[in-house]
Amino acid sequence: MIGLPELDPVIHAQARLRVTSSLAALPAGDKITFPRLQQLLEMTAGNLSTHLRKLEDAGYVEITKSHQRRTPVTYVELTKIGRRAFEDYTAALRTLLEPPSNGGAS
């Protein structure tokens, strides 16, 4: 088939797609704590960390570490690049899933 879009392999892995879609549901610029994201996705800390590292290496997520009082807190947010990559991914997926038009052919 001609003209089919490529799906971003960084996002396409099931776990990273779940991470990216969860972060994309947040308003631009909003962050979520690592434990909350882990809870939402029902992933182990190690598994989530591995997938976040891959997304971070691609520039799709930003990890910020800070403290609330004396407790360390890790925040995760989708970057502008990551949000655009997710939008492009979903658009490509829609294109792949659309039934082909016959263009007048029988």
Domains, the chain, with CATH or none: 9-95 (1.10.10.10)
Reported as a pLDDT band with limits 50, 70 and 90, residue 104 is very low
Question: pLDDT at residue 26 above 70?
Answer: yes
Helix, strand or coil, per DSSP, at residue 90: helix
pTM tops 0.75: yes
Between CA 54 and CA 7, with CA 29 as vertex, the angle to 5 degrees is 40
Residue 88, both tokens: 């492009």
Length, in residues, of the chain: 106
